[in-house]
Structure 1
Amino acid sequence: MRGKLTLAVGALLGTLTAGLLLGAPTSAAPAAFTHPGVLLGTRQLDFIRSKVDSGAAPWKGAYDAMMASSYASLSRTPKPRATVECGPYSHPNHGCTDEREDALAAYTLSLAWYVTRDSKYADKAIQIMDAWSGTIKDHTDSNAPLQSGWAASTWPRAAEIIRYTYKGWPKDRVDRFATMLRTVYLPKVINGSHNNGNWELTMMEAAVGISVFTEDKSSYDKAIGTYRARVPAYIYLKSDGALPRTTPGSGLNTRDKVIKYWQGQSTFVNGLTQETCRDFTHTGYGLSAISHIAETSRLQGQDLYPEVGDRLRQALDFQATYELGAVPPSWLCGGSVTRGLGPVTEVGYNALHNRMGYAMPGTQKLTEQQRPAGSDNLFVAWETLTHADNPN
């Protein structure tokens, strides 16, 4: 009941403020930013470390899996480029995979540093971040905004942990890294996208993380405003009416256009997403970014879960049902779905089920079945380790 009441009140408040959100974004930035504060805060990190040190499940197994991955390798050679060129589905792929994987490696190594307190992991993370901040100047081709979103969702997580828990990152290199985020990545993501929803949500995750690291209140406010308008346009609830919501400037001003944008789906039910009938993999990207932004904003003093939580828990359970093998009815995606949700449920499940008390049986089963959650090799990594049953 506690979870249902909180989510219901949050949903109502979200509806009442929608008019404001769709215009100028309201103030969301804290008076002072909390650090580390992108996806993970100090109390969460301390919880992870204590569980790994005690050998407790599932954290120790998740940690061991992380340390056995190539992302934790101390022999990794970063591969920075001045220009990363990424076309549709990363074709061409000129530095796209290298950039994403180096960012994931820096994040992995920062977690390894925090758990072990072994400086060699922090120093390796710094080496990777310095290599890129001293080289990259731009992203080009059609996937530049999404590529920027993927990489810049991950870089600030690593940088926040290293900058605020390790003394070995020289200030001039920290400043250079902040300049990279501000001048190379932020311009590509901050203005959003009318592409599929996972694009804009991932781009806003990047913008929020960049804004925390650089303490940019203006861009933080803008990114959160875009997020609060996009989430209701990405996940459908019956309370939205006969058709899903849309975002300003989308051009989705007729029923036919909305249905086409929703991958041809014309029957709308709680938890359906704009990309469900495309495939679950891209849907997972969107749901993951929604969870990540809510986590970061909560660390920064504004808990958005009561506002977005009903949509998120409905979407997680809806997708989980079919990911677990349920046969889709004929009205859903023509009776066929493309599974592959990915390791994206831990963060939302922990927030909504463990912290807010909401029953999520499908999500629970899928989450526990997938443990330990690994990486999607884009911007999701090690979330059983970081968020399983994490009370903080």
Structure 2
Amino acid sequence: MPNQHQNESRRGPSFNRRNLLRGAVVAGGLAAVGAGGVGVAQAQSFNHPGQLLQADEFDRMESAVQANREPWISGWNRLTANSHSSSTWQPRAVERIIRGDNGTDPENYWLLYNDMHAAYQNGLRWKISGDTAHRDAAIRILNAWSGTLKEIGGWTEASLAAGIYGYQAANAAEIVRNEAGFDRARFQSMLANVFYPLNNDFLVRRHGTCDSHYWANWDLCNMAAILAIGIFNEDQAKFDEAIEYFWNGKGNGSIEHVIPFIHGDLAQWQESGRDQAHSIMGIGLMAEFMEMAWNQGVDLYSARDHAFAKAAEYVARYNNGHSVPFTKYVWYNGHNCAYNEHTVISDWPRGQIRPVWELVYAHYYNRLGMAMPNVREMIGKTRPEGGGGDYGPNSGGFDSLGWGTLAYVRERTPTALNRLQSYNFQDRYVRHAYYDVRLDASISPAADAQFRLVPGLADSAGVSFEAANVPGYYLRHYSYDFRLDPNNGSSVFKADATFHRVAGLADGSWTSFRSHSHPDRYIRHSDYLLKLDQISDATGRADATYRITS
């Protein structure tokens, strides 16, 4: 089979600086090192299952599929139609995996990636359907490899094999880690002794080249493998190693290097001048790395003010056919650090479909309520996401584990939609029109006057108003006027979009909304436009009183 990554090691970019952001942002009971540390998260214990999928994801998938609900059922149907999901899949384990033409050994790495995807997909089918034949198939595949594989070799692409298939193997094994018949200890030994040494060596030495020589996806897959191995093996040192590299690594997978330029709400990806296939691949690898950390209580998604969200929007926007800004990108490669530059974004192969977008959207929009319009547009083209082999028979079709529509999609809660009825003009409702906010009697389209009342973005005791028909866009005040704006995750936006419900200023059976950021001001209408005002008279009290209707 042709090697889609031939000559990948001959290029790669650079910045002679360390990551300027220190200290991992941590959630869920994990503590980060103090100021001046290197950003290593100190986990107290490991969650299992706790890599790409946790127990609640399996429960959600099972419930949605049993109820025949979209979009999960479409993802399930695509999974069951994929040949790698068959319980009759037979492993083809070998002692030596070769990736990269070393002039001596024939390449055979497709044996490994096909089997790891088969193990992962059979594990998914078992967890969702309860059919133990698929559990047994996953165990059979994983046991065959842990009992056979002794070496990963070849040319420099052996580092890609150890990285990509290392994190995928650990994720497949995580699904069946406690099942009878699975030799977990032997699999842990294979991960630690066959995969990890190559992962670690790449991040430390990069085959003796410049720090900037290799493209970001080389770093990212090895970072993902070390993180996944650390979780599966419950090895704190490896977990910390991967997190530390994310913050401070010298190569292009660290957060400072992988996103070299911020362009407002968009951020240029490190491989954008190279090609779009590897840019999209990198988005998938970074999302999977961040999700594994998140499931262990470490928030990397928010690093550099949600820079990864901006990068995903950048790559999605360009591959949706829209224009994006591009800043000249300089790097140094080889053993002698030769100067190279990209002056324009690459258009090859623009618009490629890969199963990486659902995970990005699930975190930033479904979890956090952030606006991701370009990723959302891309999902309209990729849903339902497939997996192994659905995107080509060669290695590029197996770079991501996939199945994001089935595995990651979450409903926004609450699901109910509401309207805000004026107290003193009861035939009028709050609505947005061309992102301005006003009271209107005739609501067309009706969706403009429907909002999801979600826990306050800045204070969960408050409330924020998400537009029903523009996901991730909220009512917010700006210079005491109101408009509909995208949630960019900033603390200023969250505060401006958060309000506290109080008894109606004109009628206690109705409701008024006090500003979170300006507690002496309330939402009120004036000349049918919404304002944020101090209330001093009866007219103002009536203007600031509303009824929440369904």
TM-score (norm 1): 0.81
Give 1:2-21 correspondences, 5 Å limit.
15-17=21-23
**Counterpart pick for 2:117 among 97, 104, 108:** 104
> Is this contact kept in 2: 1:328–1:336, CA < 8 A?
no
The answer to whether structure 1 residue 238 and structure 2 residue 234 are counterparts is no
Give 1:183-202 correspondences, 5 Å limit.
183-191=193-201, 192=203, 193=206, 194=211, 195-202=214-221
**Counterpart pick for 1:163 among 162, 173, 177:** 177
Name the structure where strand makes up a greater proportion of residues.
2
C-alpha separation between the residues in 1 aligned to 2:246 and 2:68? 38
**Counterpart pick for 2:160 among 146, 149, 169:** 146
Aligned counterpart, 1:68: 81
- Give the aligned residue type for 2:245: T
C-alpha separation between the residues in 1 aligned to 2:305 and 2:104? 36
Q: Which of structures 1 and 2 has the larger relative contact order (alpha carbons within 8 angstroms, sep 6+)?
A: 1
Of all paired residues, the percent bearing the same amino acid is: 28
Aligned counterpart, 1:128: 141
C-alpha separation between the residues in 1 aligned to 2:54 and 2:326? 44
- Aligned-pair distance for 1:27? 3.4
> Is this contact kept in 1: 2:281–2:399, CA < 8 A?
no
Aligned counterpart, 1:295: 291
The answer to whether structure 1 residue 216 and structure 2 residue 269 are counterparts is no
1:42-83 deviations in Å (ceiling 9; x for gaps): 111111111111111111110110111011012222111111
C-alpha separation between the residues in 2 aligned to 1:306 and 1:91? 45
- Aligned-pair distance for 1:152? 1.0
Q: Quick one: structure 1 residues 296 and 95, their matched pair in 2 at CA, closer, same or farther if it must change by over 3 Å?
A: same
> Is this contact kept in 2: 1:89–1:143, CA < 8 A?
no
Q: Secondary structure at the match of 1:139?
A: strand
- Aligned-pair distance for 1:278? 1.0
- Give the aligned residue type for 2:41: A
Aligned length: 346
Give 1:250-329 correspondences, 5 Å limit.
270-307=266-303, 310-326=306-322
Q: Secondary structure at the match of 1:208?
A: helix
The answer to whether structure 1 residue 361 and structure 2 residue 373 are counterparts is yes
C-alpha separation between the residues in 2 aligned to 1:238 and 1:352? 18
Q: Quick one: structure 1 residues 54 and 88, their matched pair in 2 at CA, closer, same or farther if it must change by over 3 Å?
A: farther
Name the structure where helix makes up a greater proportion of residues.
1
C-alpha separation between the residues in 1 aligned to 2:279 and 2:152? 24
Task: Spell out structure 1 runs of 4+ moving beyond 3 A.
Answer: 23-27, 88-93, 327-336
Aligned counterpart, 1:245: none
> Is this contact kept in 1: 2:268–2:326, CA < 8 A?
no
Listed as ranges, the gaps of 5+ residues in structure 1 are 1-12, 240-267
- Give the aligned residue type for 1:186: Y
Q: Quick one: structure 1 residues 24 and 144, their matched pair in 2 at CA, closer, same or farther if it must change by over 3 Å?
A: farther
C-alpha separation between the residues in 1 aligned to 2:40 and 2:159? 25
Q: Secondary structure at the match of 2:152?
A: strand
1:170-229 deviations in Å (ceiling 9; x for gaps): 4xx211111001100011112414411111111111111111010000011011111223
C-alpha separation between the residues in 2 aligned to 1:117 and 1:108? 13
Q: Secondary structure at the match of 2:224?
A: helix
C-alpha separation between the residues in 2 aligned to 1:35 and 1:372? 27
TM-score (norm 2): 0.59
C-alpha separation between the residues in 2 aligned to 1:114 and 1:272? 38
- Give the aligned residue type for 1:357: G
- Aligned-pair distance for 1:14? 7.1
C-alpha separation between the residues in 2 aligned to 1:361 and 1:236? 22
> Is this contact kept in 1: 2:160–2:221, CA < 8 A?
yes
> Is this contact kept in 1: 2:117–2:168, CA < 8 A?
yes
Larger C-alpha radius of gyration, 1 or 2?
2
C-alpha separation between the residues in 1 aligned to 2:326 and 2:241? 40
- Aligned-pair distance for 1:353? 1.4
1:7-34 deviations in Å (ceiling 9; x for gaps): xxxxxx973549x99x974432411100
> Is this contact kept in 1: 2:162–2:195, CA < 8 A?
yes
> Is this contact kept in 2: 1:312–1:348, CA < 8 A?
no
Q: Secondary structure at the match of 2:297?
A: coil
> Is this contact kept in 1: 2:262–2:268, CA < 8 A?
no
> Is this contact kept in 2: 1:85–1:94, CA < 8 A?
yes
> Is this contact kept in 2: 1:211–1:220, CA < 8 A?
yes
C-alpha separation between the residues in 2 aligned to 1:91 and 1:351? 45
Aligned counterpart, 1:49: 62
Aligned counterpart, 1:119: 132
Q: Quick one: structure 1 residues 236 and 219, their matched pair in 2 at CA, closer, same or farther if it must change by over 3 Å?
A: same
- Aligned-pair distance for 1:89? 12
The answer to whether structure 1 residue 378 and structure 2 residue 399 are counterparts is yes
Q: Secondary structure at the match of 2:298?
A: coil
> Is this contact kept in 1: 2:39–2:247, CA < 8 A?
no
C-alpha separation between the residues in 2 aligned to 1:183 and 1:144? 15
- Give the aligned residue type for 2:290: A
C-alpha separation between the residues in 2 aligned to 1:90 and 1:178? 31
Q: Secondary structure at the match of 2:97?
A: strand
Q: Quick one: structure 1 residues 67 and 29, their matched pair in 2 at CA, closer, same or farther if it must change by over 3 Å?
A: farther
C-alpha separation between the residues in 2 aligned to 1:197 and 1:152? 17
Aligned counterpart, 1:352: 364
Q: Quick one: structure 1 residues 206 and 390, their matched pair in 2 at CA, closer, same or farther if it must change by over 3 Å?
A: farther
C-alpha separation between the residues in 1 aligned to 2:146 and 2:100? 22
Q: Secondary structure at the match of 2:98?
A: strand
- Aligned-pair distance for 1:238? 3.5
> Is this contact kept in 1: 2:247–2:255, CA < 8 A?
yes
Listed as ranges, the gaps of 5+ residues in structure 2 are 1-18, 25-32, 249-253, 329-342, 388-396, 414-550
